[in-house]
Amino acid sequence: MSEKVVIVTGGSRGIGASVSRKLGQLGYTVVVNYASNSQAADDVVSRIAAEGGKAVAVQADVALEADILKLFEEADKLGTLVGLVNNAGVVDMSQRVDEMSVERLNRIFTINVIGSFLCAREAVKRMSTKHGGAGGNIVNLASAGSKLGSPAQYVDYAASKGAIDTMTVGLALEVADENIRVNAVRPGIIDTELHASGGLPDRVAQLQSKLPMKRAGTADEVADAIIWLMSDQSSYTTGAILDVSGGRSILP
């Protein structure tokens, strides 16, 4: 049980895949969580193994509490949980609020907010010194949308990420003296598959000329910030929300 285990939810693609690979390079045993795309998760695991790391793919839908419990039980078999990256999240098709259905809203908030809370709950139960753990780190995925609102596109997604901002600060203070640090990264326009899943596959190309740095960010750039927050180099950092947005989130 000497292995140091980190769970990355939504770890099979985009930012999650990049974080998983970088954690594997640092010697962690990585639990690459995925909802449905087993091939993508297996590819990440294979790449980590090819680079000398250790990883396993575990299917679990973070919209379902039973799946989350299974995910953490599988992690327990591998060693000691020392970290959680709450990366899993979804958007829906671009819509105004007056067009949104209750089914859409339930899906967004169940996955993006409740799923993150439940994963954090299970991580704290294992890592907190109050529960006999040795400590660890939680990094949540926020979004520049929480500050910008994403009008006429994804106000529901932006609102769900606003909840993640609040969760990060509140949980950080709650467990600060239990040897758990809780932080978040707030990405801006990042070149991943998320935009296509929201029906806007050309969103990066359409927006990059309007961005302060005139380009989108990469999954690796966000992952590097997450790795720093997971590391001892940020040992006095908790409750922080680190903008990785190329300046977009501070536009007037």
Could you list the active site residues?
A: 157
To which residue do tokens 């309007």 refer?
210
CB of 11 closer than 8 Å to CB of 44: yes
- For 189, residues 6+ apart whose C-beta sits below 8 A from its C-beta are 144, 203, 204, 207, 208, 211, 216, 217, 245, 246, 248
Q: DSSP letters of 65-121?
A: HHHHHHHHHHHHTTSEEEEEEE------S---GGG--HHHHHHHHIIIIIHHHHHHH
59: left (phi over 0), alpha (psi -120 to 50) or beta: beta
CA atoms within 13 A on the CB side of 87: 29
Structure tokens at 75: 């992690």
